[in-house]
Chain A
């Protein structure tokens, strides 16, 4: 499950599915030299070594020692764009050699993932390291995760950049997870950022493949079900990976703040175990939110973004249990939707895209309608003027609080209270909910919030743009329609998105449901929510195919809403296919008959 691509990955390109942990190997005692072992960081080794992949063998030069880590040193080489990691003596083991041999046997080719591509041998033909692509940029831990360094190294960084960075990183996780690579030790030192769209993953030799575990890890990124086990004694699951990914995303959006750092002094690992997530959602207030800018940053995120984090990290919520955690492709859709809503959010609050907002998100006063900055210390649905007036008239105060029982927050803006049977507030009912790719012409078309609400009610899904709906032919996809642009097709491959008919977990029932581009969600979806609630996750992917992650609320008791929304379409200004020609002839024919009839009935004037 998880990442699904427009082009499925052939089985032979994936690492094998293995459930049994490999035994520890033994130390390899070098008889020959350890290349570059006697030089300082920064100086030049100028030593010959042999690089071998599954097909070729080639002598290369180690140049300057660029960096040192816990396991070895990294050298520039005479092959442009490639660097070599040479292990320390005590890290050279038989299991590492086996693992790397398997790693280089698969065509892992994902921009920015510095995966081992060849083994490196010393002059006595002994294994000493591996060759990989050179990374650029600065470690997350020394940039994005420290507000001051973030502004120092990326002075123009905005929240949109954080969103884009998350998407860039998620696409790499999709690629890797799809091939059964588990990153495992997600660590701010092993992801380098050059720009929001250019990111490098290093230390890939520690990734888990087949029976070889990722032997290291840190508390903050460790899922509760690991339960204190040593990292080299078990194989991580995709669900554990999903926990680490969620943590990473949170720490990018709230620069450097781990999701489980809470007021009260319990350690993050305690809070992870107990699912104590200190950020509020809806009216569920919490006194555990760390003070400072964190609550402000949180408040400015889109409703769906907050909901996704809240439900992932808080015990008892919908996505907390390991099997219900979001997969990277699902996160991508959430982030892309967030990105689509930037314009609207900026209109509503000019601080929406600040990485470090200095106040809470503006709210609309429930009495006078003015926007006001809420006081973090004192929750009130009214601006300070109306709030004072309310206090003088306690009776109306009572009705205001009563409202909450039969009202809900508008799921689009998360700001306005609306009657429970409405889908969206007046402000939001005609806004663009998402963009979706037309199955016919491949162009993006807007899905309005009201269309979305209708889809939620009916279980149907519109998959063609208005133009194609009125003119298109009946083949899907239309073989005559303009091909998507090359850039779009590239990103639709890397941006993991559901293609026609893939299986996904239904987020609310956690049963597998089938979704398809033609848009009918099948399966047993215990629709817990009314139409248009934020739980419905029909989201668009900018350049990918359509995917419906959510269960439509009207699909209860396993009934299939059926229908074939994609197969309608009148004839039109055709592309020349047989249907279009037929349609055209039909219209011509009808016109002729009408003309004939009118001539006969009324006679020439």
Chain B
């Protein structure tokens, strides 16, 4: 492209480019420039040397994670939880969005939408406290109720097997409002002429949903899933830490990379080792997103992210 052509393009799209600038700057400042900090993963950090002057120590920082024998367990937990969250949350969000769209009453729709959105704004710390008061063996609401109706109380905080289910439910409860609004927006932007045509052709409500609404949601769904897949090796620290805390009995099923690394390094305060763990997550995430994008591309070129 010649120089004139490039500047021509710039001038032509100046409004769009201007709108893009803040986002580009944001990512440049908060994602690309800090990326140089990755060198810390290979260094023995000290204050005198700082980020670039500290001595190299090869792969030593990675050793703590892999030597401990827990790397596979926490990586697996992280990926499985995130896969479960992606599937369950998206299915529920789409279902909720379609239901809200099909429901006629405007007031009902608004109120439900608000109610669904509310948990999104509750901090994980508060959710953790609420959960403790629900699940507590001695005085928790659930067990008080169970005892009142003559059933055996259940010891939730000492039973690792319950936790995958609890965490999936809580994640869905917290995320549903946000996702529903995104899908609702996507549904509203579907051309209404299609629905009118379908109605004239005699399609019932289910046919409308499955033949028009859902296929039209695919692009949104694929983008959201692709973006989520990039983070599949990052555990939601706020959620896991506040729900599970330092309860060792539950670690077998609830430990994710982020909580594991936090717990291991909070006392030793080793920047290099936490950078190494973060780097490990990023590499895995990068590989997964490339793979997923490649798969989508193979299936339908237009729907891939890039």
Do A and B originate from a single complex? no
Report which B residues bind A (CB closer than 8 A). Answer: none
